[in-house]
Structure 1
Amino acid sequence: MDDFVSESDSDYTSYWRDWFISSRGNEYFCEIDEEYLTDRFNLTGLNVEVQYYQYALDLINDVFDLDCDDEMRETIEKSARHLYGLIHARYIVTTRGLAKMLEKYKKADFGKCPRVQCNSHPLLPMGLSDVPNNKAAKLYCARCEDIYNPKSSRHAGIDGAYFGTSFHNILFQVYPALVPAKSAERYVPRCYGFKVHAAAALVRWQNGKRDEMKRRLRKMEIDSGFRDGEDEECEESDEDEELDEERKDLEASETRSAH
């Protein structure tokens, strides 16, 4: 920014978009075509979202000629960056915008998935909200279908509304051949070569529910439909439970008599 401000006014207004795209932290953005910026229809409603909207738009379009102090210029510059981001969210879902973002995606300009099983699959920027100043930009992996935080703090501060919640999905709708095969590989926890998982706990829970259902059916004198061996096991468990209940009642009565 300091290098840019030190240039002459003509340079300042002649290369604003080039400067913005090449600035550190703005690598996620693509350059918006001048034809799109000069079409008022594409900018509908943005005048109420941005302070000094017309001055900011003039700065983006390289026709800014207002003679103002440094503080005012900095305010307009901030508004121009915000306005560019809002226009960018609309532009990247157009045919031309999708093509530009696709080229950046193929070159992995947005980074690669940190998940080991995704084998460094390229990421896409996305927003969790279309409302400005609400959520920061995230990175989406189409292989594992999960989202991640940008590694760089410069990218982590980008507003997610500058990419929107639909861009990454629209890209794969327009280019279905790019949809990657979902990763079937999953990390399997092991201890000394033996798998560690929650299947055993699930089986115990299912067995408990089944035994409970069989006891309820037997009390209602309804045929459970289970095999005889399973019913005998259930009866044994019922007898054990009854013995436990009798033991608890006996202990409770002894406690009361002692008092």
Structure 2
Amino acid sequence: MPSSSASSTPTSTLTWISWFCSLPGHEYFCEVQEDFIEDDFNLTGLNSLVPFWKEAMEMVLDVEPDEDSSKIPDVSIVEASAELLYGLVHQRYIITRQGLQAMADKYEGGIFGSCPRVYCQGCYVVPCGRSDLPGLDTVKLYCPNCHDIYVPPSSRFQALPGAFFGTTFAHLFFQSYRELAPAPFYKPPTATSPGRSPHSNGSESVSSHDEPFVNPNPYGGQKRAAGKVYVPRIYGFRVSERAKSGPRMFWLRLRPENHEELDMVDWRGRWIDEVDDDDDFDEDDDEDDRPMEDFDPVSK
């Protein structure tokens, strides 16, 4: 049941789930259907992660506890277990059809906020986690335009466990709702010279939204991609790509203009004619996020 502060309000019909999702800082959560929680199949393996499983389940589902109250622990402990249980169930619910739709409504309403990167032009973000297990990391925000993750700007969201959203939701969301993601290819609306050099800087073309957007994706649905990349300059001159303080990783934010350009890079995103044959990168080492790579020539 909700705490005494919530029970004092004239909302006697308010469920624990509705109360929990309405708390300040819980705007990222959607309300999980009770029939989803009551299905034992959806709870497989969670009883080993949540202490006081039975009491926590009774609190989440607003079930009256047993008359034998001698074995019931302190209410604050049960509340913590109930929040953990709901968060882990929430991680599984938001990758179902109903859960994706509920989160899509929040996404279109801008509940999750927008990307802090200037050249993403206010692209909406979605919450995600870097681990599916609780206690390892807090929630992050994933941007579908620059494909990077960010810390929530408000401190009231920064304590939310990332496991309550998981590692799958953000990417499954944009696979399911392609029309909500930016287009995979960036075509500058202004006329550009044909046959753009693969090493040219994609930020040089000035974008304009006056012309109608023609979606380059044959599957349709996507919005115009924000393809500009920031270029550091000193007195108007671009900082060299080879400089230690230069934009050596600017390609992380580039988008191809068409699908043919995808054949001009290898699986690591580097131009094929620049690939080092002696590169012995371990392809199997993909359990953790890969570090940024330094492509500067090694000075001997």
TM over 0.5: yes
Structure (1 or 2) with the greater helix fraction: 1
Q: Are 2:106 and 1:104 equivalent residues in the alignment?
A: yes
Deviation per CA, 1:208-250: give whole Å up to 9, x if none: xxxxxxxxxxxxxxxxxxxxxxxxxxxxxxxxxxxxxxxxxxx
Question: Aligned pairs, how many?
Answer: 200
SS in 1 for 2:78: helix
User: Which whole-Å deviations, capped at 9, do the CAs of 1:29-58 have from their partners, x for residues lacking one?
Assistant: 000012111111111111111111111111
Write the distance in 2 (CA, Å) between the matches of 1:38 and 1:29. Answer: 19
TM-score w.r.t. the length of structure 2 is 0.61
The question of whether the paired residues in 1 share the 8 Å contact of 2:121 and 2:226 is answered with no
> Residue 233 of structure 2 aligns with which residue?
190
CA drift at 1:103: 0.7
AA partner of residue 80 (structure 2):
K
Correspondent of 2:158 among 156, 163, 167:
156
Residue type of the partner of 2:49?
E
What is the correspondence of 1:12-161 to structure 2 with a 5 Å cutoff? 15-66=15-66, 72-161=74-163
Shift of 1:5: 5.3
Deviation of the 1:2 alpha carbon:
5.6
Report the residue type matching 2:60 in the other structure: I
TM-score (ref. length: structure 1): 0.71
| Structure 2 runs not aligned, ≥5 long | 184-224, 247-300
* Aligned partner of residue 231 in structure 2, secondary structure: coil
Q: 1:179 aligns with which of 168, 178, 181?
A: 181
CA RMSD of aligned residues (A): 2.5
Percent same amino acid among aligned pairs?
A: 44
Q: How far 1:64 moved relative to its partner?
A: 3.0
For residues 160-218 of structure 1, the C-alpha deviation after alignment (integer angstroms, 9 at most, x for no partner) is 1111101111111112222213432011122222222225899xxxxxxxxxxxxxxxx
Indicate the SS of the match to 2:100.
Answer: helix
Secondary structure at the residue paired with 1:125?
Answer: strand
Q: Is the 8 A contact 1:14 1:62 kept in 2?
A: no
- Matched letter for residue 62 of structure 2: D
The offset of 1:136, in angstroms, is: 0.9
Please say which structure displays the higher CA radius of gyration. 1
Cα separation, partners in 2 of 1:16 and 1:33, compared to 1, 3 Å: same
